[in-house]
Structure 1
Amino acid sequence: MAKPFRSIVLLLALLIPLLTACGGGGQTAASPSPQAAASPSSAASPEASPEASPEASPQATAGAGGNASNVRVALVTDVGKVNDGTFNQFAYEGLVRARDELGVQIDFIETQQPTDYERNLDQFANQDYDLVIGVGFLMGEAVQAAAARHPDVNFAIVDYAYENPAPNLKGLIFNEDEAAYMVGTMAALVSKSNVIGVVGGIDVPAVQKFVKGYEAGAKAQKPDIRVLSVYIPSFTDPAAGAEAARSMIAEGADVIFGAGGQTGSGAIQAAAQQGAWVIGVDQDEYNTTFNRGAVQGADKLITSAIKRVDNAVFDTIKSVVEGNWSNEPYVGTTANGGVDYADCHDACAVITPEIKAKVEEVKQGLANGTIKTNVTVE
């Protein structure tokens, strides 16, 4: 995401009213409780559904040992939970790993609604945490404002970048085109019709990188493959995504990649229910869109192009521990483990050893630089 800044500002202006409405409107934040905090046992396993108060505990979870026990790091999720299968959970897993491997103290707040962003961020900053991490681009403005209010506290945010960040502000972004190139490779090798499709969301640089990377990866395997693509001017229109996917299937596509938030999820659900193979985006959509296999069509999801938010969070915390903090954005790549492709889960029967080996070969080439996506964005 080399120069997404103007596009991101426009994107936020378009999306915040929509996503605020569907991301927690009507929920009432829990009453503050200075006694509630993540415990070492619950923090170790998102499956335990740990309860967290909107108020941060004055006693942060103690580190597991090491020479960084005086470093305190806090996570503020977007609306959701630390075991919800989204970026919230991946960020939390990176936080827990930093506690276990680096010995830092950790704590977290599960945001109840977008209007709580500022209060939750300030809760930790007022306690002089060394690093406070926000999750998701919807928190971009809130995190920037918090960094301005608390210049002595470092802040980082997942999936957002700033044009001229303050010294204490860092964006964690990703090379989406590399993840898309890997899943495009798989799509081409799985396809029997030699026609595949991708349903993108709003035409911004991050989505362009997904769409163009997917096509580049597919054509590297089958130069004559037909790649259908569309940009839909919304990230929150699953019905439009579904209709686009059905149109592509009618044109012969037998693999559909959804790269547009809820719009893309609508596309892959509809396509899977019609018998096409599908590919998710950002996180492993087997766990989210297909509810860990419980939703019809889960057996058609061959992979997802994922952003390894857990590794981004861990590496950022490590930079604080080692005294290497800077406001330069973290860029997740195949080489540093920042992007990857997900497991095939219930669809593994179609992923032959030869297909798996080829995708791994491509992954290695992206990591060592012998393969380039050659994707450019407008």
Structure 2
Amino acid sequence: MALDTGGDKDHGYNECSLRGAQKAAETSGLDFEYMVSATRKDYDKNIKALIDADADLIFTIGSTQADATAKAARRYPDHHFVIMDYAFSPGISCPDTVSDCYTQEGGLANVTSIVFKEDQPAYLGGTLAACMSESQNLGIVAGDQIPPVLRLVSGFENGAKSINPQINIQTIYIPDFDDEETGYQVARKLISNGADILFCPAGKTGLGGLKAAAEFNVKALGVDVDQYITVPSARHVLITSVMKNVDVAAGAIVEKFAKGTLRCGVYEFDLKSHGVGLAPYHEWEGKIPQKCTQLVALASKKIVLNPNRSLSK
């Protein structure tokens, strides 16, 4: 497995993906190793190291590894690749530039893609935040403008606007998932501008946002995993987390590989399949107004009944 930047203890995306794959590999009797990317320049090198180690299945974490994954998959057609959070359709080869791989028409015959409808739980999170906000001013500490982050932001914004079309939403993008200090400073700016609830879809950078929320006692929503569990210092402000169950997805893919049933193409995880969702409210259970939890439950029901409904811009 080639991890994205942020390390193997980022309290989120990398760590959760790693945990799910490692557990499934151990249960299935498979050897497992992983590489950590200090920067994006490490992507090609890490994938090549796994190829040189004769790995039968090479798992790349994060859509920012799409270029590196596509190039390696084309050059090494006898290896099976899996990419988290990016969709390559099977059957069509991609050139080294891989620009045409960035469409549903492009693709690779030896790649399995895992994607999530992260706009669905983000919509629920935005619904909850708008209902609970006293200032009707929300802040988003967002990571790089890659498709999963954009879907999280759009889903959250549209969920909030479903409650109040005039709500003020401040969104600041940070082109780095491994910069807690910038995340902290951006969150402080949003708070000083009146945001009373923060959403931090920014990987390790988002931990800085949660630090500021905890310090200034501003409510927040976590992302990717249940950050009430992984970021205990922010428990008193975390009302829930917008979860992508990447551990479940990674484990399921490894299990299919071990059984010989893994196919190339796209596996999609959504609210109906429990691949995404909101985390429990934990100590906020009972503190959240009943009308807000009811609005979230109603929105969830509508999404499950109509999963193809567009929740992103």
TM surpasses 0.5: yes
Tell me whether 1:301 sits opposite 2:255 in the alignment.
no
Q: Of residues 199, 207, 211 in structure 1, which corresponds to 2:149?
A: 207
Tell me whether 1:155 sits opposite 2:93 in the alignment.
no
- Quote the offset at 1:157 in angstroms: 1.6
Question: Which ranges of structure 2 fall in alignment gaps of 5 or more residues?
Answer: 89-100
- Quote the offset at 1:204 in angstroms: 4.0
- Match in the other structure for 1:264: 206
SS of 1:286 mapped into structure 2: helix
- Match in the other structure for 2:94: none
Alignment of 1:25-104 (within 5 A): 75-78=1-4, 80-81=7-8, 85-95=11-21, 98=24, 104=28
- Match in the other structure for 2:253: 316
SS of 2:194 mapped into structure 1: coil
- Match in the other structure for 1:364: 301
SS of 2:114 mapped into structure 1: strand
Aligned residues: 289
- Quote the offset at 1:90 in angstroms: 2.8
Q: Deviations over 1:307-335 (max 9, x none)?
A: 11123224434655464612x33333212
Tell me whether 1:339 sits opposite 2:276 in the alignment.
yes
Label 1:355 to 1:107 Cα distance change in 2 as closer, same or farther (>3 A). farther
Q: Deviations over 1:28-59 (max 9, x none)?
A: xxxxxxxxxxxxxxxxxxxxxxxxxxxxxxxx
- Match in the other structure for 1:228: 169
Alignment of 1:237-248 (within 5 A): 237-248=179-190
Label 1:207 to 1:299 Cα distance change in 2 as closer, same or farther (>3 A). same
TM-score if structure 1 supplies the norm length? 0.65
- Quote the offset at 1:119 in angstroms: 4.8
SS of 1:259 mapped into structure 2: coil
- Quote the offset at 1:268 in angstroms: 3.0
- Match in the other structure for 2:107: 165
Aligned mates of 1:265, 1:355 — CA distance in 2: 26
Label 1:132 to 1:373 Cα distance change in 2 as closer, same or farther (>3 A). same
Tell me whether 1:190 sits opposite 2:132 in the alignment.
yes
TM-score if structure 2 supplies the norm length? 0.76
Q: Of residues 14, 35, 40 in structure 2, which corresponds to 1:111?
A: 35
- Match in the other structure for 1:325: 263
The percent of aligned pairs where both chains have the same amino acid is: 28
Aligned mates of 2:147, 2:224 — CA distance in 1: 15
Q: Of residues 264, 277, 299 in structure 1, which corresponds to 2:219?
A: 277
SS of 2:144 mapped into structure 1: coil
Equivalent pair of 2:130/2:164 in contact (CA under 8 Å): no
Aligned mates of 2:2, 2:184 — CA distance in 1: 32
Residue type at the aligned position of 2:235: A
Aligned mates of 2:63, 2:308 — CA distance in 1: 29
- Quote the offset at 1:173 in angstroms: 2.3
SS of 2:227 mapped into structure 1: coil
Equivalent pair of 2:10/2:204 in contact (CA under 8 Å): no
Label 1:275 to 1:233 Cα distance change in 2 as closer, same or farther (>3 A). closer
Q: Deviations over 1:254-273 (max 9, x none)?
A: 11111233443323321331
SS of 1:179 mapped into structure 2: helix
Q: Deviations over 1:202-256 (max 9, x none)?
A: 3444333222211211222x22551322233422444444344334333432111
Aligned mates of 1:266, 1:155 — CA distance in 2: 33
- Quote the offset at 1:357 in angstroms: 4.4
Aligned mates of 1:174, 1:370 — CA distance in 2: 12
Residue type at the aligned position of 1:231: I
Aligned mates of 2:302, 2:82 — CA distance in 1: 30
Aligned mates of 2:10, 2:149 — CA distance in 1: 23
Aligned mates of 1:144, 1:269 — CA distance in 2: 36
Equivalent pair of 1:181/1:217 in contact (CA under 8 Å): yes
- Quote the offset at 1:277 in angstroms: 0.2
SS of 1:107 mapped into structure 2: coil
Question: Which ranges of structure 1 fall in alignment gaps of 5 or more residues?
Answer: 1-74
Equivalent pair of 1:201/1:234 in contact (CA under 8 Å): yes
